[in-house]
Amino acid sequence: SLGKLQQSLDAPALRPGIGCGVGRNMQAIAEDGSIYPCHRYAGEKDWVIGTLERGLDPSKTENYYREILANYDATCSGCVARFVCGGQCPWYISLPDGHVGTPDDASCDAIRRGLEMQLWMLVELRSRAANGRRALQAAAQSIEGEQP
């Protein structure tokens, strides 16, 4: 969104992060009580990060995040969009064996094109707003000049 882009430009993060709430403020609980990082993982036994009975498994949860962030660091470190993107959907790059893969080029290219369009739109909106303010100021000065 343009708001997220503006926030990233105003206060860049020191390190790219995960763009969604996977495993933090968004989890899925299956009928058997298994806890998954999000609804997309539900039913995939290699992705269980805890149970209702025992709670979240700290080592599984930490390893999950560590692997995602390590892959983002390795793959995204030279990408212009890395601080705005938040990485590809963790589920999308997750492998069936319980490990996290790397983002794919086609999706990354689409994200970069989207960022380019957002940047253009932000610059265009700022330019139009500035031109609109100048036009209003000129009109106000014109009106003031006409008064006796």
pLDDT 10s digits, 134-145: 877 887 777 777
Residues with Cβ within 8 Å of 75's Cβ and at least 6 positions away in sequence, in order, are: 102, 103
pLDDT tens readout for residues 47-99? 999 999 999 999 999 999 999 989 888 888 888 888 778 788 899 999 988 89
DSSP string, 94-129: B-TTS-B----HHHHHHHHHHHHHHHHHHHHHHHHH
Q: Residue 23: what residue type?
A: G
pTM score, whole prediction: 0.70
CB atoms < 10 A from the CB of 53, how many? 7
Whether residue 56 contacts residue 24, with contact meaning beta carbons closer than 8 Å, is answered with no
Task: Provide Rg for the chain, Cα atoms.
Answer: 23
Give the DSSP letter of residue 73.
H
**pLDDT for residue 12:** 67
Strand ranges, E, within 1-148 = 28-29, 34-36, 50-51, 55-56
